[in-house]
Amino acid sequence: MRLRKRTFQIAACGATFVLCCAADGFVLRGVLTSREVAREQFRRGYFERFGDEVGLALDDAVRPDMIPTFQMARDGALGIPPGMIAVLPLATGTRYESRSDSSCAPYVVFGVEAPVAAVANGPPLSPGEARLVGARTLALSEGHLALVEWDPVRPWREDSARLCALRDACVPTGDGGALEVAAKDDGLEVRLGGCSLAAPRAFRGESPPLLAGLAGADWLTVARRSGWRTEQEMVWPLLAGIAVKVATIWWGAGIASAATVSLALAVAAVWMPVPATLVWPLTVLLGVAAALLRLSMRGLQRIPRRARVPVVVATATLAAAVFVSRANQPDSFPPIVHIHAEPARPDRCAVLGYSAVKGEGLRHESGGIRTFLDEECGGCRQTTAGLCAGGETLAWMRDAFCSSDPAFGARGLVTFLGGTNDDFFTSMVSIARLFIVSGQGSEPWRHNVSAAAAASRRRLDVQTSAIASLGRCIQSRGARFLFLHDFLATDLHGGRDPDRAAMLAARRTAVEAAGGTFVDLFELFGREAGVSWFNDYIHPSLLGHERIAELACRHLP
């Protein structure tokens, strides 16, 4: 009888543990697994100059370390975030379907593959690197759908007008506006609503024709009838964390507490999935705290009563000493990066920033504003260096620069390129919110980007204080302070939302109060910027870097 009762208790405990883990898995369903398009089905595009022309270079780096990035939409299509370019070979006999989140037609370009030269001072070419040539896009010609020569440097307002005209002419009101493309042995067939196009002799070559899907200022999806090969991966460390969280709360506070916490959070996740996911790490801390408290109580019970108070005091003192020691350790920052070898002359032109200054978003992550200044700006030639790190904020930038070598930027120009990171990353909750929804599609991303900006605006004082301190450090080196505020691909639609606009205005005031020069790059370049300005959601292409470097060079003292 006792054995049967014991067996029942073990089974009940096991079932409860599994139920709690399943509830936690439901809460974390958006981040517990990742579903990605298998490699070698498409390539990433980068806008670059090829002699006197502007076009697309391609490589296989389709999983960049940024958010948002290429992802699988719920309907099985390839999701392309704003600013990014996916280039895929059109397989004969396969039908492709593209849709834009905007009210206009999808932005697609057709061409063929050609070799590309290696990047100067860069690594050797990989097998997937190439160039798209013979590029043509869709437009209306005498009221009919036609393939026309592609001009990649057109401003977004002109490209947007072209795409909207296509939809108005070809797609009936209420229709989904999908663009259908089929590759055949003798050419291409294209259909948009009631308009169709047959190009029997188009894009012949040794390799299949290419279709470049350009998201522009909107999200874009590309589906194919045979489906994309996908790779689904479980985030095993997170799964282990679920088991540890349930076990620690169970052992520290009891089975009822563990079940209550897991089930209550799972119910909340039905209506508020992102907030519930954000709260889950706090329950892990709760479990660890409960387990440590119980362990401490058990340890104290084994110590004689007279020794308990001294032991508690000694332990608390030791913990405080360790905390203070770690808190007082100097922060470490990445080294100042030079374009070539260590220069013989001081770094007269100092470039500060985040991932864009680091070179992310560029093919091979080489080139960019630092290279343009160092090689093409007379006052900065061979005296340019950068201090940068991806995913950081103004507070980090202040600390990193003020702790750097006093000769860095002394009596020269200190250029900061950024600001958009601070629109979203000033609040830790904002960062977590965006990471959670980064792979969940366009609608969750748009909603949470707005929420993240609102949260950062509530900490605007942190940003303005960092700018003031950074300005004082720059002044102490006798340098000129140039603040270049970047913008997003989505801003091409009409600028920043009210929260981001308010933060920009406050940063402008803080920079000018610190004796610096503030330039809103969208205000200056917004009317000329188009798809060729970006390689992804936030990072400028080489063309964008070139224009920004020309601007910075003109501000040299």
Model confidence pLDDT, tens digit, residues 483-507: 999 999 999 988 999 999 999 999 9
Give whole-number Cα distances, 413 to 142, 219, 383, 384, 475, in Å.
Answer: 53, 38, 11, 10, 11
Residue 21 lies in a domain: no
Give strand pairing partners of 221.
Answer: 79, 99
Q: Are 45 and 60 in contact (CB under 8 A)?
A: no
Residue 5 lies in a domain: no
pLDDT at residue 467 in the model: 98
The interaxial angle of helices 2-27 and 236-253, nearest 10 deg, is: 130
172 and 238 part of one domain: no
222 and 247 part of one domain: no
User: Both tokens of residue 206?
Assistant: 């040794």
Counting residues of the chain whose pLDDT is more than 90, the rounded percentage is: 48
pLDDT at residue 377 in the model: 93
pLDDT at residue 317 in the model: 76
- Give the three-class secondary structure for 248: helix
Residue ending a domain, among 295, 323, 351, is 323
Residue 122 lies in a domain: yes
**Does the structure show a pLDDT above 60 at 174?**
yes
Domain that holds residue 73: 34-230
198 and 248 part of one domain: no
408 and 452 part of one domain: yes
User: Both tokens of residue 400?
Assistant: 């990193």
171 and 256 part of one domain: no
The residue among 282, 268, 277, 223 whose CA lies nearest residue 77 is 223
Average pLDDT, the chain: 87
Rg, Å, the chain Cα set:
28
Q: Are 246 and 21 in contact (CB under 8 A)?
A: yes
Q: Are 526 and 487 in contact (CB under 8 A)?
A: yes
- Total domains in the chain come to 3
Residue 344 lies in a domain: yes
240 and 224 part of one domain: no
370 and 477 part of one domain: yes
Q: Residue 532, Cβ neighbours under 10 Å: how many? A: 25
Residue ending a domain, among 197, 230, 263, is 230
**Does the structure show a pLDDT above 70 at 35?**
yes
pLDDT digits (tens, 9 = 90+) for 72-99: 877 788 999 999 999 999 988 889 999 9
Residue 25 lies in a domain: no
pLDDT at residue 97 in the model: 94
Bridge pairing between strands 384-388 and 349-353: parallel
pLDDT at residue 338 in the model: 83
Residue 6 lies in a domain: no
205 and 304 part of one domain: no
Residue with tokens 């209420």: 174
Residue ending a domain, among 173, 202, 230, is 230
238 and 225 part of one domain: no
pLDDT at residue 238 in the model: 87
403 and 538 part of one domain: yes
Residue with tokens 């001081």: 346
The residue among 538, 530, 498, 557 whose CA lies nearest residue 107 is 530
pLDDT at residue 331 in the model: 65
User: What's 545's domain CATH number?
Assistant: 3.40.50.1110
Residue 242 lies in a domain: yes
225 and 240 part of one domain: no
Residue 417 lies in a domain: yes
**Angle, CA of 53, 489 and 362, to the nearest 5°:** 50
310 and 364 part of one domain: no
The residue among 279, 292, 278 whose CA lies nearest residue 249 is 292
Q: What is the mean pLDDT of residues 542-551?
A: 96
